[in-house]
Structure 1
Amino acid sequence: VHPFLPSIIEALPLKGVAPRVASAAMEALGELAQVSRSSLTPWVSQLLPHILETMQDQSSASKQRTSIRTLGLIAGGTGYVISPYIDYPDLLSQAADVLPGTKRAPWALRREVIRTFGILGALDPDRYHAVAVNTRKG
């Protein structure tokens, strides 16, 4: 898989496609993360903005669930944990927005958010607050 990784990542339709296609691409990316593990690290900064954008799209719960699962698989496979909260300060609030106990969020989606939080790890609240405040200012 490693020699083909750049071509596979480049070929994945992650943006501007139908929800089913985007969901399938996210799922493929998650499976790729499980297989390639740390070899995917050079592309993490390129892929995460697409994953986070898909996670925000509330038009499809399955698309959201798949993007959150993909985030967890990439974080677990590459060892990119805790840092996503710093590099993407809105990540915590975006993912937490899915969690309210309202009936609009299916249980599978909420379960995936909780699982991904577990994979991403705990962040010192003071450190997160400092990053969040700096993000809002600038």
Structure 2
Amino acid sequence: MLRVIVFLVGLSILLIVTYPLIIFVYDSMNGNFFSIRYSISHVNRTHIVFRVNLTYLNSAEIHDFNITVEILSEENKSIARSCVTKSVLKLNESLILELTIPLENAIKAKYVALTLKGVIGGIYPISVKVKEEFRGVKLWKVMKY
């Protein structure tokens, strides 16, 4: 009888500790992680302002969340970089990052790199790095207005 009680207490503690990770993995497997949209919010003769809108779609909270957005050239050299830190990121919460890019550097822009770091449920560290080509946003086309 004592073994059964110890087993049930141990199982309960294990489920309480792993609950945030289980929720995070379940939501991520169903495609609920982040929604990321890029846009150009302002254009003038010397600079372009590139906006990244990130919406968190997962049910598990991320603590000490840090996102870094970087615009890279074809040679993977950094053109512009922006970073935001938030203490707790919750479901359907949005973050907006803006990068101001000089026109002479905007011509060289080829990739967007995102680095997401945080702690799931205050226990499990996570780090995600994504690098992709611009989708639908061609900075050099915008300059020919």
Q: Which structure carries more strand by proportion?
A: 2
Query: TM-score, length-normalised on structure 1?
Result: 0.22
Report the structure number with the largest CA radius of gyration. 2
Query: TM-score, length-normalised on structure 2?
Result: 0.21
Q: Which structure carries more helix by proportion?
A: 1
